[in-house]
Structures are given as C-alpha cells and as structure tokens.
Amino acid sequence: MSLPLATAWRIARRDLNARFRGLRLLLVCIFLGTAALAAIGTLTAAIERELASSGQELLGGDLEVEVWQRDLRPEERTALEAYGRVSSGFRMQAMASTPEAAAPIELKAVDAKWPMFGTLTLADGRTAGAPTGTDAWIARTALERLGIGLGDSFKVGRLTLRAAGIIKDEPDRLSEGFQLGPTIIVAADVPGKAGLLEPGALYQSKHRIAFKAGAGSPAAVEEALTQRFPNAGFDIRTRDRASPGAERFVRQMSDFLTLVGLAALVIAGIGIAGGVSSYLDQRRASIATLKVLGATSSDIVRIYAMQIGVAALVGSLAGLAAGVAVTPLLASALQGLLPVESGFIVAPAQLALAASYGLLVAFAFAAAPLLRARTFPAMALMRSGVVPLARDRRALIATGLGLAAICVLALATTAQPMLSGGFLLGAGGALVLLAGLGWAIQAAVRRLPRPANPLLRSALANIYRPGAPTGALVTALGFGLAAFVLLAAVQSAIDGNIASRVPREAPDYFVLDVPQDGEARFASLVRAEFPKATIRSVPTMRGAVLAYGPKGRMIRVADLKELPEGAWALRGERGLTYADNLPQGNRITAGQWWGPFYTGEPLVSVDADFAEAVGLKVGDYLTIGILGVERTARVANLREIDWESMGFNFALVFSRNAISDAPHKIAATIDLPPGADDAAQGRLLRALVREMPSSSVIEVGGILVEARKLLEQVSLATLAAAAVTVLAGLAVLMGAIAAARAARTYDTVMLRVLGASRRQILLLQLAEYGLLAGVLALVALGLGGGLAWVVITRLFEFDWLPDWGEVLAVLGFGIALVLGFALGGSLPLLRAKPARALREL
C-alpha cells in the first residue's frame, strides 16, 4: 500500500536540507537556464512592444512616402491629402560653416505641422515644433564643431542661419536611419533658399500622413498608392515598420539570444542529470532503509520527486527574478540603438514560458536517475557502491517525453521555427556524437598497449573500467569546452569586423553634389592643400527599377506581390551611375564591358548577386525611372562587387549614352596622404564651402566611429548572453565530477590502502581528465566554432573573422579550468577515512 501524499511530503521535507545540500547543482542549472530565457524573452518583448506602440512617433506619421531628387507633383500630393494631414520636408547631407570652421551635417527641413506625433525637446527643457524663418535647432556636436554658442550665426549653403536651440530628444530620430553627421533642423523652405535643391542634387523629400478617420489600414493605403503611382519611385513605410533597420536588428538579436537560451537549456539538462544522480547516490542508504521499512517503489519516486521538484521550483523562481533584474542592464547596453523601456520590465507570458522550460528540463533529465533507483531492491541499493545500478529502460521513455515536450514548446513559441528546429536537431546530434565519442574513446583505450608507468596505466584503466563515468564526462567536457570556443569565436569575430579592412581602405571624405562644370575646380581646391591626395569622382543620380527580364516578357516590379529574396535593388530608388571603364574593385563574371567610345544600344552592367536573385541574364533588359522618365537598357554583363571597400559601388552601372542626359551631379572621394595636417583639412573644408556652397562633405572617420560604437554595443550584448552558456558549461563540469564522487571515493580509498600517496592520486586524476580534455578540445573546436559561424554569418550577417589565436587561448584556459575543477573535486576524496568509507560500501 502506497504512502499518503501528506506522509510522503513530510518525509521529503524532513530529508530535504534547508540549504538544498546535494541539490545545489540542480538548482544552479535550472537557475541559469531559466534566467537566460527570462532575460531574453523580457528584453525582446519590451523592444517589440515599444516598436509596436510607438510606431507613429518613431515614423512621424501613420505612413511615410519618400522620393529622391524631387518634391511631390500636385496630383501626388492631392492623393496623399485624401488620407489625412500631410507634413512634408527634406533630408540631405550639407555643410555648415563659419569663417573659422566647417562641419558636415545632416540637414532636416520640416514644415509647420512637424512633429505630428511625439515631441521635440530642447536642452533647456523647452518643447518645440518646427523652427521658423532662419532659426535652427542644432545638435550639440555640430555646435561644438563650429565653435559657436546659442544665438550665434552660421551658414548652410548660401543662407545664414541662427542657432536657436540645442536638440535633446528628436521624436523620429530612429526612423531616419544611420546618421552621417550631426542633425540641424530648419524650416521647410531653407534648403531651397540655400541653393541645395538644384537639379541633380542628392536629397530626399519626405511626406508623412496622419490618417483621418476612415482612411483605412496603413497596408491598404500603401497598396493603393503603389498601384496608382507605380512608376513614381515611391519608397513607402508604415507605422507597423517604422524602423526596418531596428526591427531587423531586433530579429537577429532575438534569434541569437534564442540560440543562447536553448544552448543553456541543453547544457543545463546534462548538469541536472549529473546532479540528480549524485544526490540520489548520496541518499542510497536512505532509499534502502525506506524500502526495508516497507516503502514501495512508487513511494520512493514520490518522496524524491517532491524534493527535486521543490529545488527545481526554487531555481526557476530565482532564475525568473534574476532575468527580470538583469534586463535593465541589457537595455542600457543597447541604449540609443533600440527603443526599450528603462527600469524593470515584467512580461508575464515570457516569464511563464521560461519557467515552463525550466521545469520541463528538470523533469526530462531527472527522470532517468530517479526511475533507475526506484526499481532495485534494498540490497542492490546498499551494494551499488561496488555493484553499479543497471539502467532502467523505462526511464528512457520519461526522458524522451520530456525532451519531446521541450521541442514542441520551442517550435510552437519561436518566430523562427526553422532556426530553432535546426538548432534542436544540431543539439541532439551533438549529444549523440558525444555519446558515441565516449564509447569510442573507451573502446580505443581498451585496445591500447598497457603503459609501463603505473599512474598512466591506472589513468587509462579508469577510462574504460566497469561503471566508469566516461560517457557523462565526455558529454559534459564536450559541451563545456564548446561553450568556451563559442564565446571566444563570436567575440573575436565581432572584434575582427570592428577592426577589419574597412578603416584601412575607406577614403577620408565623400563629397556630394559637385557641379558637373566644377569638377576641375574641385580637384584644384583639394590639390592646393594636399598635392598627393587621391581623388576619384563618378556621376551620380537616383532612380528606381521599374521592370526587368527578357524583351517582350519583362516583369513589372509594381506587379510583384513579394520581392524575391536578395532583390534589395528593387526596393525604392537606388544610386545610379554611368561609366566608360569597369569600376575599380569590380570583376566581370559574365558578358563583356563596353568600350569608352560606345554609341550603340543603351547598356547596363548588373551586380551578379542581384541578377541571380531576380533571374536576370546577359541579353535581358532593365527599365528604370529617373525623375519620372522611363529608360530601358540591355544587360551587357554581370559584375562581382567588393562592397566592403567603402568606395563608390553601384549595383547598376550604365553606358554613357543610356542616362548621361538626365540631370545629375558628381560625387567624389578624397584619400589624403598619411599624416595629413588637421589645420590643412580645416582649410580644405572651408574652401569647399566657400567655392561650392551647394556641395556637402561626409567625413568617413565619423561614420566609422558610429559603426564601431554600434558594433561594440552588439559585442557587449553578445558577450553577456554567451557568458550564460559558459556558466552552464562550468556547472555541468562540476555536476559530472560530483556524480562520479562516490565511485571515486571507493577507488581513492582502495589506492590509499594499497599505499598510494596523495600526490600520486592527484596525478592520476590529472592524467585521466587531461587525456579526455585533450581529445575533446578538437571536438569543442568543431562544435563551438560551427555554432559561432552560424551566429556571425547567418544571424548577424558579418564576415567570419575570428582570431584563432584568441580562440585557442580561451580553449586552453577552459582546459586549465577543467583540470582545476577536477583536482578541486578530488581534494575531498583525499580526506575520506578509509575505515569509514569501507564500512559504508
């Protein structure tokens, strides 16, 4: 007859140590896995909630229409106004200057209706709308670069402006995209008065709509405008995707953090199995006593399942609390990069999901050792120190059900089921690989010739002797060391991208909107200060791809319900150019380049990756729209482009006779000689502003600083997340060592009885763990390196640039840490009293 639940709980509670002695490893593993998932879910939910709830404020309206190099036509503006209030303005790169200084800026011209959503806050605490007349709201960095104060004057183009306030909080900053200079906000008519809207100038006109009642959904309005003006070159965004770059980054980070959470769960599960095995082994005598006194196998399961359940529940709750507590720290690391609430954030659904994962993992991995002890008689339990318990095949069913539930839950709750499913399959494959490797190591060592050295001979024998924990150790060491490799490879690859060849190859300045008849004058201004500077110039304009494909069967972009994957050049307007010679850094992969004096059929050279995405071949045709005029050219060749050079790279390069008659200007890059004088650079910028006021300069150094800052924020978040897997790996190693402690105690006592010294026993342990760690280091390089490659190249879409020296150094540190834990775990064994230990066998 089974014990009542109340009686079983009373026995379990009395036997359970208040400090969870013996179950601390289980508690730590559940804590780590649950905390990681709670922090991941809470942070992601907070960012997504903020993006969804603040879409209007981030975008500045319900819908935005962006057009390059022109304003709206009357019929287009009338169509937009039919849906609600329209606020219009311009965005462009420009130069701000004083007689003593000049600074590249991002000029933002807005009308009196701006901002329709949100509030502009100035540094002095004032809230403001659009500036009027020649007043300007100016970023503090621009103020410092110009060396002026509030109320002082400066010039943009041909117009003199007044610094009327310092920008503190710009409501639609995130939707404006990557910033190429400090912002200056002016009235909508300022760019025209300053001479910055001349034909061919590179600028955007932006038009935001605040919907009136009954206007319809943003998606429906977007579709209606696209169908009505298919060739207008509209780039449309809605409040539901106010900041595509931020949403893409959140998705990538969420995918990566999901992988981290799943990895932490898998590793924690292994630690739980080891910790429960160790705990039940310590309770062997208690279990035997209960059975002698009449307790049934079901009673044993209930009593110890209650203890394990309490520990798992406490670990889960502590993990949830830690996940909520650490979220503000992760949010602060992403401050300015993503919109996220400050302070503590509670997301009940994500916390419940994390707790469910923790409890399921505890059930799945604790079932096998618990059921194994359940089915054996008291005598077998009492003699299990020298006669190990056999495996209970029925326990595999419980473990399998738990793992299946985890997989179903993971696939049902992820936004990327293919990614999560692939990772779960990979984790399962890794477990099978490590289990097979453990068996293979035992088989191989068993066939090795017996060494003459007794310590080495004993170390090898410990690997394959009956009851040896080699399988558990191989799994634990493999995942633990792989976690070190993952952390080092991801971190060093991000660092490699930060310090990659972009800074070495990038020009010092980009110059936009150089007049066609002023190219020689521009070059002379640069040579006057830097005779050895390298100047490269190209004609540039904006246009949209309207149709592509074989002649007579061309596909209209407006008719596509969804753009092909990788067909980014079909989205809105893109930079276009024409050239007589193959651009520097490009390589022809199909077809031939036209000659410098070509006068035949208009031709176009297409990026090979884009051509593959849309199915373009040499001989097909491409139609573009430039300022509302359609032009068609035949695809003459496909090119491979070095996009990392940070020079002028265009997906579409036309022959001169195809588009050179369209209004356009010249863009140029300036490479200064090494050690260029700062004072001379200042004189050059002021000369360019004075002689070519409508031109704008972009300092590449500032762009690289911003890019470095962004990547460093990503690196910090990645480091914090990946560290969880390392901690889980260390917990697993401790669990594997603890699980083998009973058998190690018996071995150690017998060796000491036979005359072995403490030094010899420690060397024996060191040799055994050293041999296993050495073999598994190669496996860890493959597992950790492979996962790091997926994270870097597939999720973050960075280059694979790990520092293998750093990776190997971290792996070496991991091996040293493993050996340190192994020796640390052996010290209590040396303190075991032989007489007492032998009596307890």
Mean pLDDT across 341-360: 78
What would the two tokens of residue 816 be? Answer: 């040293």
E-state strands within 215-354: 235-238
Report the alpha-carbon distance of residue 195 to residue 513 in Å, rounded.
11
Which are the contacts of 749, defined by CB distance < 8 A and separation ≥ 6? 832, 834, 837, 838
Q: What pLDDT, on the 0 to 100 scale, is given for residue 529?
A: 87
H or E element in which residue 138 lies: strand 135-138
Is pLDDT at 383 greater than 60 in this prediction?
Answer: no
276-320: pLDDT as tens digits: 777 777 777 777 777 777 777 778 878 888 888 888 888 889 888
What would the two tokens of residue 48 be? Answer: 């997504």
56-105: pLDDT as tens digits: 777 788 888 988 888 898 999 999 999 999 999 999 888 888 888 888 88
Phi-psi sector, 708: left (phi>0), alpha (psi -120 to 50), beta: alpha
Report the alpha-carbon distance of residue 569 to residue 572 in Å, rounded.
8
Q: What pLDDT, on the 0 to 100 scale, is given for residue 322?
A: 84
Lowest mean pLDDT among 55-69, 127-141, 550-564, 696-710: 696-710
202-214: pLDDT as tens digits: 888 999 999 988 8
Q: Which residues of 654-678 are buried (b: 16+ CB within 10 A; e: fewer)?
A: bbbbbbeebebbbbbbbbbeeebee
Q: What pLDDT, on the 0 to 100 scale, is given for residue 840?
A: 57
Report the alpha-carbon distance of residue 245 to residue 716 in Å, rounded.
19
Q: What pLDDT, on the 0 to 100 scale, is given for residue 820?
A: 80
Mean pLDDT across 162-176: 84
Q: Which residues of 402-422 are buried (b: 16+ CB within 10 A; e: fewer)?
A: bbebbbeebeebbebeebbee
399-440: pLDDT as tens digits: 778 778 888 887 787 766 777 777 777 777 777 888 788 888
Which are the contacts of 559, defined by CB distance < 8 A and separation ≥ 6? none
pLDDT top residue among 788 and 391: 788
Is pLDDT at 136 greater than 90 in this prediction?
Answer: yes
Distances in whole angstroms, Cα of residue 452 to Cα of each of 242, 401, 456, 805: 72, 48, 8, 36
Mean pLDDT of the chain: 79
Q: What pLDDT, on the 0 to 100 scale, is given for residue 85?
A: 92
639-666: pLDDT as tens digits: 988 766 556 788 899 999 999 988 888 8
Is pLDDT at 261 greater than 80 in this prediction?
Answer: no
Which are the contacts of 792, defined by CB distance < 8 A and separation ≥ 6? 489, 490, 493, 494, 798, 799, 800, 802
Is pLDDT at 604 greater than 90 in this prediction?
Answer: yes
The one-character DSSP state at 569 is G
pLDDT top residue among 27 and 656: 656
Q: What is the DSSP string of 435-472?
A: HHHHHHHHHHHHHSPPPSSHHHHHHHHHHHSTT--HHH
Mean pLDDT across 719-730: 64
457-491: pLDDT as tens digits: 777 877 777 767 677 778 777 877 887 788 788 87
Distances in whole angstroms, Cα of residue 676 to Cα of each of 250, 531, 533: 40, 11, 9
Amino acid letter, residue 445: V
User: Is 304 strand, coil or helix?
Assistant: helix
Asked if 774 contacts 820 with a C-beta cutoff of 8 angstroms, the reply is no
Phi-psi sector, 445: left (phi>0), alpha (psi -120 to 50), beta: alpha
Is pLDDT at 521 greater than 70 in this prediction?
Answer: yes
Confidence of residue 143 (pLDDT cuts 50, 70, 90): confident
